Chain A
Amino acid sequence: MNQRRWLSNFLSVLSPVVLTLLLGGIIITAIGEDPVLTYSVMIQRSLFSYSGILKTLHFAAPLILTGLAIAITFKANIFNMGVEGQAVLGAFFAGVAGFSFTRLPPALHIALCLLAGMAVGVLFALIPAILKARFKVDEMVVTLMLNYVVVEITKYLSQGVYKDPASGYVSTYAIRESAMFKKIFNSDITGFFFISLVVFAIMIVVFKKSKLGYEITAIGLNPEFAEATGMDVRKKILAIMILSGAMSGLAGAGFLMSEKYRYTLDFSGSPGIGWDGMLIALLGGHNPVGIVVAAVFYSALKTGSDYIGLFTNVPKEIVGVIQGILILFLSVRFIDSRFKVLGRVKALVRSHGVSGSGE
């Protein structure tokens, strides 16, 4: 029974992926290139070589975290669209902690920066969280808008107070060496990847075995029931958003400390590690194992795309195109449960001819 459902879930993810790759292939053909070659280069370089797979895993680390950050909220029917902003803000202040302190032992410095990033992510996520818990403000639009506030704030700060005068473009100081994650195994990967795996392991326990996970599921499926049977929904909303903000901040911080080392205006890439996380959460069905698989898959596409320029004329932006199309197809799977429940109720009311009370 469970296996059949797992299979149908898997297939319903597989078909959008296949469709998308097909469409991507059509676009590649339209510009006169070979899609099979393009895709095979992407996969080979990212998954089938020693340095490639480690590079893929390295870039997958922050995506696993942002994916989890989104999944934990979506499971409770909370739409935290601000993961991007929380991650960027977390990264920025992790960076500030990274270059502001000197003469700290690496372990301490790294821990400090990561905590700074997580704390900032949490605080920023608390704004929509409190608005929702206390005033029932719709978090979708609020979180979406706050992303742009983050963009402006970081732009302002990196052009002003924290600007690195030595660099030619807008950038903050680089973090001190003691705050950087060291590359290991002679490759791109760092200790940060293992941190993200630890978080992943914790999240598996949370989702499947913890009281909070049980409550998250209940709130997502039937919040009225959750409140009526005595789960304090308002408190849980805060808890969920705090966790989400923490993971987002951690993602951004770790990305800064293991790859970028300084904050620039294009820090998060295009469309951004938060939005990548959205795609990954959707692909992974909002559960931790699926998210890790999706993160590795997507990261493979991204790192692989760096190499297609060597063999074809296909611009690496094809990955972004694939991402957009994939999100589009996946959006149908995740029919907003809000609308779905409302539709079901309406259908029920109509079919039983009950317009309220009295028959």
Chain B
Amino acid sequence: MTAGTPDPLIEVAGISKQFRTRSGDDVVALSEIALAIPVREFVTIVGPSGCGKSTLLRLIAGLVAPSTGRVRIAGAPVSGPRRDIGMVFQVPVLLPWRTVLKNVLVPAEVIGLERRAAAARAHELLELVGLGGFADKYPSELSGGMRQRVAIARALMHDPAILLMDEPFGALDAMSREAMNLELLRIWDASRKTIVLVTHSIEEAVFLADRVVVISARPGRVSDVVEVRLARPRTAKTRSEPEFVRIAERLRGHFEMVQAA
């Protein structure tokens, strides 16, 4: 097991996950994954496509059950989906018939939060993600980056301790992506959440993280864990610092090995 702080918020212990394909073969998606994530840490998980990193996120979220091993959150085993987690998916998953505000309010509605307090909080969150003037717009009126911001505001609505993000900026162009990375760090700083973010972009993984977890493909195994000691707040210049370049190189090495294999 990875040595972490004594009381990790998220503890993944000896997780394996097998899937049975339609043709009846067993595919090992994840094998013997162990991770300990303390409160307020920003962890990124990077790996080639098909390495099971999205599955790992779903296991932590309780949306998928592991074949062996166990996930604990704040010491308690995860047995199903839970409300102290906010999810951001690869696509924004907005409801097109609801305004931006009503989309952000979905978790409040499901959980049954008091309406006026919830609406006030939703407005605050929209300010936080930089969409203050867009509460009454419909998703079809927004750009891809703006929609994903709405999804982030929605994930924060019920004030979960943990934010799980599955390649949230994968569909954005490079420029919006870098802008969203800065935004996300600002939001993380303001909201004091523990974030686990899955990405296949090495740059993004290093830029955001306190710690980068590298997962290899088939079966998905933790092949490296890298501490990122770059100063915060990070800016566009962070990407050209020698430390950034060094870590990015190291991570890239893993994927070149994968390709060679």
- Asked whether A and B interact, the reply is no
Chain B contacts to A: CB under 8 angstroms: none
Chain A contacts to B: CB under 8 angstroms: none
